[in-house]
C-alpha cells in the first residue's frame, strides 16, 4: 500500500465531497498500440502482440487497490496577523461560508484570496483522502451510463442544457462527460486523447477514508473507526 497524490479540479472536488463521485479515469501513457490483457499477477496489463513477437509492452497502473490517494485541489494559505497559526483555504468551499481548519475559523466574504493551482498543493494541506478499491484498463468510450453517474454527473437541473450539443453522437449525460473529459485535455492533443479519439484509460474506483498529516512523523496517518492512528 502506498500514499500518492491525485489532482482534481474544483467541480470534481465538490462532487467527491457530495459523495456522488466514486471513480476517475486517467490516460494511459504511452498509449497502447494494440488491445490489452491482464498480466498473470493481476497488477498490470500487457499489449497483445502478433504471433511470433515475444516482446510485450507492459503498462502499470498509477494506483493499486489499497493505495491511499490524497487529493490535491486549488488552495491558498492564510496566516492570522495576531498569531502564528496557518489556515488552509480551498476553492471548492466557495462561495465562502466557513474555512477548513480544525477549530472552524471563518474568513470574511470580501477578503481577497490568492488561489494556487492544485499541482503545487503541499502534502500537509490535504484534507480529502480516498482508498483505491479497484483499477482496470479500458477504452474511454466503453464507459456505461452507471459509469458516467459515478464520475459525478450533476443533477439534470444543474446541467447547462443551453450549451449541450444534442447533435453529438454522445447523448446526455454522456455528452456532459465527453465535454468534461475534453476540458482536461490540451487542445493540441484532442486528436489523440480526446473523447472522439477513444483512448485507453485507467479506471480508478475509490471510497472516502479518514486520514491526517502528522507533523512529527512527516507522513499521513489513517484514522481508524476507533480514532487510533496508523501510518499510511
Tens of pLDDT, residues 148-170: 999 998 765 555 545 555 445 44
- Total domains in the chain come to 2
Which long-range CB contacts under 8 A does 51-58 form with residues at least 24 apart?
57/32, 57/33
Domain range holding 135? 3-74+117-231
**191 & 174 share domain:** yes
Q: How far is CA 96 from CA 79, 107, 109, 181, in A?
A: 17, 8, 6, 27
> What's the pLDDT score for residue 190?
96
> What's the pLDDT score for residue 59?
92
**146 & 175 share domain:** yes
**101 & 10 share domain:** no
- 176-225 pLDDT tens trace: 899 899 999 999 999 999 999 999 999 999 999 876 666 655 666 655 54
Of the three residues 116, 146, 174, the one that is the final residue of a domain is 116
Specify the pTM.
0.80
**194 & 123 share domain:** yes
> What's the pLDDT score for residue 13?
95
**162 & 90 share domain:** no
> How many CA atoms lie within 13 Å of 68's alpha carbon, on the beta-carbon side?
22
**44 & 106 share domain:** no
Summary mean pLDDT of the chain: 80
Does 98 have pLDDT greater than 50?
Answer: no
Amino acid at each position: 500500500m502506498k500514499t500518492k497524490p491525485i489532482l482534481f479540479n474544483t467541480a470534481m472536488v465538490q462532487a467527491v465531497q457530495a459523495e456522488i463521485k466514486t471513480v476517475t479515469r486517467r490516460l494511459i501513457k504511452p498509449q497502447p498500440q494494440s488491445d490489452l490483457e491482464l498480466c498473470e499477477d493481476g497488477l498490470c496489463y500487457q499489449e497483445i502482440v502478433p504471433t511470433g513477437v515475444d516482446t510485450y509492452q507492459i503498462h502499470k497502473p498509477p494506483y493499486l487497490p489499497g493505495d491511499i490517494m490524497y487529493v490535491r485541489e486549488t488552495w491558498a494559505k492564510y496566516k492570522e496577523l495576531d498569531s502564528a497559526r496557518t489556515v488552509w483555504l480551498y476553492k471548492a468551499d466557495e462561495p465562502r461560508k466557513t474555512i477548513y481548519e480544525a477549530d472552524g475559523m471563518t474568513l470574511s466574504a470580501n477578503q481577497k484570496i490568492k488561489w494556487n493551482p492544485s499541482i503545487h498543493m503541499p502534502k500537509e494541506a490535504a484534507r480529502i483522502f480516498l482508498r483505491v478499491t479497484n483499477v482496470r484498463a479500458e477504452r474511454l468510450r466503453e464507459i456505461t451510463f452507471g459509469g458516467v453517474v459515478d464520475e459525478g454527473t450533476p443533477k439534470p437541473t444543474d446541467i447547462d442544457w443551453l450549451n449541450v450539443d444534442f447533435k453529438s453522437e454522445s447523448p446526455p449525460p454522456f455528452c456532459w462527460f465527453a465535454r468534461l473529459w475534453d476540458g482536461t485535455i490540451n487542445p493540441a492533443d484532442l486528436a489523440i486523447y480526446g473523447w472522439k479519439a477513444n483512448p485507453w484509460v485507467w479506471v480508478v474506483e475509490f471510497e472516502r477514508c479518514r486520514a491526517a498529516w502528522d507533523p512529527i512523523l512527516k507522513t499521513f496517518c489513517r484514522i481508524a473507526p476507533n480514532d487510533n492512528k496508523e501510518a499510511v
